[in-house]
């Protein structure tokens, strides 16, 4: 499919996104979310207002590091809330690692 890139590690994906000057988008499953939750700066979160049997869950969010940008409650046959959260504190793991520039004269 045009415009789709396949990578085989989180590091490779982040490197490619940087090279392409694009945002990396993480689309689960549970283990991938667990490995990357500390790296994300923006979360699009759908919370379903229903109980389901299951043994795998989305990781606990670092709510002390996130700010709610928007929230929409949807009254569907199974109601849900769509929230956008942004990291409110800079994440040192996601800071650019380029060389420092010399001070201007």
Query: Which CATH topology does 10-94 take?
Result: Dihydrofolate Reductase, subunit A (3.40.430)
pLDDT tens-digit readout, 20-71: 998 888 888 899 999 999 889 999 999 999 999 999 988 999 889 999 999 9
Q: Both tokens of residue 50? A: 């229903």
Question: Of the candidates 44, 51, 33, which has an alpha carbon nearest to the alpha carbon of residue 68?
Answer: 44
Question: Of the candidates 36, 41, 46, 34, which has an alpha carbon nearest to the alpha carbon of residue 65?
Answer: 41
DSSP H helical ranges for 3-86: 10-19, 30-36
Say if residues 89 and 65 touch (Cβ distance below 8 Å): yes
pLDDT tens-digit readout, 78-98: 999 999 999 987 665 555 444
Answer yes or no: is pLDDT of 100 > 80: no
């Amino acid at each position: 499919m045009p415009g789709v890139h396949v990578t085989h590690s989180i590091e490779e994906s982040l490197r490619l996104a940087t090279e392409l000057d694009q945002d990396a988008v993480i689309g689960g499953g549970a283990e991938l979310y667990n490995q990357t939750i500390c790296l994300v700066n923006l979360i699009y979160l759908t919370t379903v207002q229903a109980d389901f049997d299951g043994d795998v869950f989305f990781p606990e969010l670092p709510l002390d590091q996130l700010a709610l940008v928007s929230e929409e409650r949807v009254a569907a046959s199974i109601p849900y809330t769509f929230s956008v959260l942004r990291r409110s504190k800079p994440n040192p793991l996601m800071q650019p690692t380029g060389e420092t520039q010399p001070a201007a004269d």
